[in-house]
């Protein structure tokens, strides 16, 4: 038995109906007894959430502003120090970059998805602490 998939489906409700119909047809084709009500219960007509319904939902936010803020702190995290800095200036520059990234990631988490970057923030905070120690030892600050 061939199951025809819809060519284009617009809207969350239409998509849920198409998935339910396909699942019902597939269940019938392979001999699984599923009622339309049981399948419909799986899908809701609610508006889609900014957090996608998928296995990676705990780590993905579908919002243009969240992406822009994410890209901004990623760009800052990937910046390299200017080549003409002496050792102490370079350490201070790195310290400021790491602190900026910690602050940006923390703000992103608070605004969009609490706890998403907990491990990364902790790792970068350790780098901040280490840089502070290096500055204190090498630069006397």
- What is the pLDDT, as a whole number, of residue 65? 92
Q: What pairs with residue 61 in β-bridges?
A: 51
Residues 129 and 79 in one domain: yes
- What is the pLDDT, as a whole number, of residue 100? 97
**Contacts (Cβ under 8 Å, ≥6 apart) of 54:** 60
Residues 42 and 75 in one domain: no
- The total of other beta-carbon atoms located within 10 Å of residue 98's CB is 22
- pLDDT tens, N- to C-terminus, the chain (141 residues): 455 544 444 455 655 566 666 666 655 655 554 444 544 454 444 444 444 433 344 456 788 899 999 999 999 999 999 999 999 999 999 999 999 999 999 999 999 999 999 999 999 999 999 999 999 999 987
Residues 15 and 42 in one domain: yes
Contact 109, 117 (CB under 8 A): yes
Residues 78 and 107 in one domain: yes
Q: b/e for 62-75, b at 16 or more Cβ within 10 A?
A: eeeebeebbeebee
Contact 91, 135 (CB under 8 A): yes
Structural domain range at position 133 = 57-139
The structure tokens 């990676």 sit at 56
- What is the pLDDT, as a whole number, of residue 12? 55
Residues 28 and 65 in one domain: no
Instruction: Work out whether the CA dihedral 47, 48, 54, 59 comes out positive or negative.
Output: negative
Domain count for the chain, please give it: 2
Residues 72 and 95 in one domain: yes
Residues 64 and 35 in one domain: no
Residues 88 and 129 in one domain: yes
Residues 40 and 83 in one domain: no
Residues 62 and 118 in one domain: yes
Residues 67 and 131 in one domain: yes
């Amino acid at each position: 038995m061939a199951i025809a998939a819809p060519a284009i489906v617009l809207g969350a409700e239409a998509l849920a109906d198409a998935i339910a119909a396909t699942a019902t047809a597939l269940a019938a084709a392979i001999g699984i007894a599923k009622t339309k009500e049981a399948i419909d219960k799986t899908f809701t007509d609610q508006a889609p959430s900014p957090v996608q319904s998928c296995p990676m939902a705990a780590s993905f936010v579908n919002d243009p502003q969240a992406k822009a803020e994410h890209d901004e702190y990623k760009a800052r995290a990937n910046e390299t120090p200017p080549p003409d800095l002496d050792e102490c200036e370079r350490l201070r520059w790195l310290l400021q970059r790491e602190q900026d990234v910690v602050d940006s990631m923390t703000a992103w988490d608070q605004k969009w998805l609490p706890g998403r970057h907990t491990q990364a923030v902790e790792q970068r905070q350790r780098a901040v602490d280490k840089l502070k120690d290096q500055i204190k030892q090498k630069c006397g600050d």
